[in-house]
Chains A and B, each alone.
Chain A
Amino acid sequence: MSVLSTPRSAVRLASKGTPLREHVFRIALLSSLVIALGFLLMLLIYVLEEGWPRIDATLWENMPSIRRPETAGIQSGIIGTLWIIGLTALMALPTGVLAAIYLEEYADRTKWYNRVIELNISNLAAVPSIVYGILGLGIIARWLDFGFTVMTGAITISLLVLPIVIISAREAIRAVPPSIREGSLALGATQWQTIYRQVLPSAVPGIATGSILALSRAIGEAAPFLMLGAATLVRFNPEGVWSSFTVLPLQIYSFISQSREEFHILASAAIVVLLAILLLMNSVAIWLRNRYQKRW
């Protein structure tokens, strides 16, 4: 006869009801969520409502203009942003991933210089973006004489996202179980073969997710570009890395500082476009994460 069927234990197992404390706690959690999401939603509705009349083909087809805000577009900003992000990805991702491999797989943590590097990468991730702008202006634009070009912007933004790329790539590499490395090395694979053929393929989804999130943070940056002195009103698309440029956040900033109402509507429309790009990138990141989630 089972213990559970005796009346005594049945009484002991019976529900006493959820205590009040549990309810209060749950409501507190829920309301925090509602506040956070509520503000985001309000913001979205606000910009969508204001920008709605200008979300049309001319927004994409036309260049910005000071004289005709009702037909001005943001093409140079969109293209400029894509240039910067593309070039940043080309420079920051390989560098960041290689640095992460060094730190995770090769660096001897008992050596002081490796610990200094580690500590500084965490510190760099917390440096305000405007400081990177000053760095870019002083060293890249002036000292290296790269001027206010796509290259200068992309190098500056690369430096800005590099710590985040390194940190997220390290996490992805660390998440690959040591047993995979042992299995590979025990077969007579070299350390580099093990990293290249086992560790990296397993870490790619995590690295990609982290990188996209890092880049999408960079997309919203205006401060470093302001510092670099990128022109706010550029009526042409960059033709190459040595061309001058503008980016969406700068464009939005310049529209908003105009007094005419049409510019504010235009700014809202541009914000909607910026948010759409961000949302798209983040969805890709989430999709990648779910698609390639590893189970060991």
Chain B
Amino acid sequence: MQNVSVRGPEVPRNIEALDPVFTVSDLSVFYGAYEAVRGVDLTIGNREITAMIGPSGCGKSTVLRCFNRMNDLIPGARPAGKIFFHDEDLYGDHVDPIEVRRRIGMVFQKPNPFPKSIYDNIAYGPKVNGMKGKMDSIVEEALIKAALWDEVKDKLKQNALSLSGGQQQRLCIARAIAVKPEVILMDEPCSALDPIATTKIEDLMQELARDYTIVIVTHNMQQAARVSDRTAFFTAEVDDAGERHGRLVEFDETSRIFTNPSDKRTEDYITGRFG
């Protein structure tokens, strides 16, 4: 069994009462005729960090990208089942995916700052959303929240691509924060970063979880164990027709998943006997 360090006492939050932000029921996602994910039931708690782990290709990103309707952009991608954001059907007819993405931010695997200045990277989101208020203070606040302000305050006009990978990723987090979202989705945000930069992002996530709901996809089990409150373990199953489908195996409090999983497959995965 792994040596698990559950979140320290510096961020005391009661993870017993689950106050749902997303309620996913019987979600399947298709790419054309291919059913990539099948029958997922999941609840994402308010101001919690939920981790999604599992071997690659089991549909973690696919599920994550349903939460802010990024899958709409892939021709042929189609969800079936229900996702509620609070009490609104995320895929309801009246829902504007643009507005969804403003309220549910996303950070990608590879840092993707715009080829513009640091300042303009942050200001872009508030500008396109027509946000009111002094831009300078919006930018400063976002950078402070993303723990990047001290490092960049003297070079806001510098091109964002001149930052290090870890700084770029924190810039992307700051950029997401600047539009004042409620949720931040992160798809393997540290997989392109070195261990020190990874630690900084993990610390930052702990900090951000006071104000935001965070869903993180990670292939790094230690990371899930370190930062998350709840963990969803996915795997890919082959059906009778020989097709692989992503399935949610187990969803529980992180400490339970890592110390006392109820499913044999979860136990095999976290002890390294599988995947």
| A179 in contact with B75 given A187-B128, A189-B128 (CB within 8 Å) | no
List A contacts of B102 (CB < 8 A): 187-188
Question: CB-CB contacts of A180-210 with B at 8 A, as 1s and 0s?
Answer: 1011111111100100011000100000000
Contact A110 B179 (CB under 8 A): no
The verdict on A187 contacting B179 (CB below 8 Å), with A182-B70, A295-B161 known, is: yes
| Complex: A177 Cα to B108 Cα, angstroms | 14
Q: Which residues of B contact A193 (CB under 8 A)?
A: 128
Knowing A187-B179, A188-B101, A197-B128, the reply to whether A182 touches B114 (Cβ < 8 A) is no
Does B175 sit at the interface, judged by CB under 8 A? yes
CA distance A202 to B112 in the complex (A): 14
Residues from chain B with a CB closer than 8 A to the CB of A295 are: 161
Find out whether the CB atom of B128 lies under 8 angstroms from the CB atom of A190: yes
Given contacts A202-B115, A296-B115, A296-B161, contact A188 B128 (CB under 8 A): yes
Do A184 and B124 touch across chains, with their CB atoms under 8 A apart? yes
A108 within 8 Å of B (CB atoms):
yes
At the interface, yes or no: B105 with Cβ under 8 Å from chain A?
Answer: yes
Residues of chain B contacted by A180 (CB below 8 angstroms) = 112, 114-115
Give the contacts of A237-296 with B (CB-CB under 8 A): 294-296
Q: Measured between C-beta atoms, what is the minimum distance from A244 to chain B in Å? A: 47
Q: Which residues of A contact B101 (CB under 8 A)?
A: 185-188
Chain B contacts with A in 50-72, Cβ cutoff 8 A? 68, 70
Task: Chain A residues near B161: list those with CB within 8 A.
Answer: 295-296
Minimum Cβ distance to chain A for residue B5 (Å): 31
Judge whether B99 is part of the interface by a CB distance below 8 angstroms.
Answer: yes
Residue of A nearest to B103 (CB): A188
Cβ–Cβ < 8 Å partners of A189 in chain B: 98, 124-125, 128-129
Contact flag A188-B179 (CB < 8 Å), given A182-B108, A197-B124, A197-B128: yes
- What is the CB-to-nearest-CB distance from A229 to chain B, in angstroms, rounded to a whole number? 49
Chain B hits for A183, CB < 8 A? 108, 112-114, 172, 175
Contact with B along A34-68 (1 / 0, CB 8 A): 00000000000000000000000000000000000
Name the residue of chain B whose CB is nearest to the CB of A193.
B128
Question: Which residues of B have CB within 8 Å of A179?
Answer: 108, 110, 112
Is B176 at the interface (CB under 8 A from chain A)? Answer: yes
Within B91-109, the residues touching A (CB, 8 Å) are 98-99, 101-103, 105-106, 108
Given known contacts A294-B115, A296-B161, A188 and B70 CB-to-CB distance under 8 angstroms:
no
B11 within 8 A of A: no
Residues of B within 8 A of A182 (CB): 70, 73, 108, 112
B115 touches A186 (CB 8 A): no
Q: Are B176 and A186 in contact (CB under 8 A)?
A: yes
Most buried by B among A182, A183, A189, A198: A183
Residues A186 and B124 in contact, CB atoms below 8 Å apart: no
Set of chain A residues within 8 Å of B110, measured between Cβ atoms: 179
Q: Are A188 and B115 in contact (CB under 8 A)?
A: no
Cβ < 8 Å to B, chain A residues 118-165: none
Q: Which of A184, A187, A295 counts the most chain B CB atoms within 10 A?
A: A187
| Contact pick for B105, options A186, A190, A202, CB 8 Å | A186
A189–B68 CA distance with the chains assembled, in angstroms: 13
CB distance from A148 to the nearest CB of B (A): 47
- A183-B113, A185-B73, A187-B125 known; 4 new pairs, CB 8 Å cut-off, are A188-B102, A189-B125, A193-B128, A197-B128
| 6 A-B contact pairs sorted by A residue (CB < 8 Å) | A177-B112, A186-B101, A186-B108, A186-B176, A188-B125, A188-B128
